[in-house]
Amino acid sequence: MENTVTIHMVASLDGFIARKDNDISWLTSNDDYPQGVTLSDAEIATFLERIDCYVMGSHTYEHALELGWPYGDTPVMVITSRPMQPKRESVQFYSGDLTSLLNNKLKPSYSNIWLVGGAMLVKEFIRLKLADEIIISIMPVLLGGGTPFFDELDIEQSLHLKDVVSYRNGMVELWYEIIN
């Protein structure tokens, strides 16, 4: 099966993915960039339908449950070292080697695999060379502090810019291929 492992995160221009108080109001924007595109609800739904499986760290999972689950019934693999009870049927937990998770469990079953955070897990995927692409959506805001997207990655990684899309609400989406 052909597979793509995509890292997707939303960040502030100063590179944070979460505020210190976990407030998420900055993820929506009232900015107006007339040349930017706007996606209809139907276009967003069609795009999301193509995602076969989400992978996330346990902090992201717990925060998503608090906020109101945005992943529907799409299978979700939560990475944790703790024993956890699933709150939804679509959720499974995994503890162990991440390369083996990808090669033996996810890639044989799912084609379009999305890693949606958080920062801790994203860095592990890049260091282990498990991801093919990074899509980063930059919101028009400086948060001044919080959880950084990348602090010390400890490796250098070359990227190829595949696309840039600017949106009417001031968000800029940068799509990179990871050159492994």
Ligand X SMILES: NC(=O)c1ccc[n+]([C@@H]2O[C@H](COP(=O)([O-])OP(=O)(O)OC[C@H]3O[C@@H](n4cnc5c(N)ncnc54)[C@H](OP(=O)(O)O)[C@@H]3O)[C@@H](O)[C@H]2O)c1
Backbone φ, ψ for residue 41 (5° rounding): -60, -35
Closer residue to ligand X (CB): 56 or 178: 56
Nearer to ligand X, 1 or 11 (CB): 11
Q: Which alpha helices (H) appear in the chain, and where do they start and end?
A: 41-49, 58-67, 98-100, 119-127
103: its two tokens? 């090669």
Which residues bind to ligand X, rule: CB under 6 A?
Answer: 9-10, 17-18, 22, 56-60, 63, 79-82, 95, 98, 116-121, 124, 147
Q: For the chain, state the CA radius of gyration.
A: 16
Nearer to ligand X, 58 or 106 (CB): 58
Taking the least distance from each CB to ligand X, the nearer of 42 and 47 is 47
Give least dist CB 128 to ligand X, A: 9
- Nearer residue to ligand X within complex by CB, 50 or 82: 82
10 Å CB burial of residue 4 (0-12, 13-18, 19+) is middle
In the bound complex, which residue of the shown chain has the CB atom lying closest to ligand X?
Answer: 118
Under a CB-based contact definition with an 8 Å cutoff, are residues 31 and 139 in contact? no
* Smallest distance from ligand X to CB 114, Å: 11
Shortest Cβ 61–ligand X spacing (Å) = 7
CB of 180 vs ligand X, minimal distance in Å? 19
Instruction: Report in angstroms the alpha-carbon separations of 161 from 25, 111, 173.
Output: 29, 22, 11
Query: Which CB sits closer to ligand X, 18 or 102?
Result: 18
Q: What are phi and psi of 26, to 5 degrees?
A: -70, -15
The CB-of-11 to ligand X minimum distance in angstroms stands at: 6
Q: Identify which of 122, 109, 115 has the alpha carbon closest to the alpha carbon of residue 151.
A: 122
Minimum gap (Å) between residue 150 Cβ and ligand X: 11
